[in-house]
Amino acid sequence: MTAAEQGVAGMIHARMAECSPAERRVARVLLAAYPTAALETVAVLADRAGVSGPTVLRFVARLGFRGYPEFQKALRDELAERDTSPLSAYTAEPPAAPGGALQRARRVLPAAVEATLAELPEAEVEAAVKLLADPQLRVTGHGGRFSGLLAQYLVMHLVQVRGNSRLLPAGQVERAGLLAELGRRDLLVLFDYRRYEQPTLALAQAAKEQEAKIILFTDRWLSPIAAVADVVLPSRVDSPSAYDSFVPTVAVLETLIDGTIARMGAAAGDRLASIEAAARRYGLLD
| Per-residue pLDDT tens over the stretch 251-270 | 999 999 999 999 999 999 99
Neighbouring residues of 107: CB distance < 8 A, sequence distance ≥ 6: 240
Question: For 1-56, what is each residue's pLDDT tens digit?
Answer: 444 456 787 788 778 888 898 998 898 888 777 777 888 899 999 998 899 999 99
Q: How far apart, in Å, do the first and last CA atoms of the chain sit?
A: 51
Residues 9, 38: contact at Cβ < 8 Å? no
pTM, full prediction: 0.76
Written as one letter, the residue type at 112 is A
Mean pLDDT, rounded, for 235-249: 91
Nearest to 168 by CA among 135, 231, 214, 123: 214
Q: Can you give the pLDDT at residue 91?
A: 47
Percent of the chain with pLDDT over 90: 56
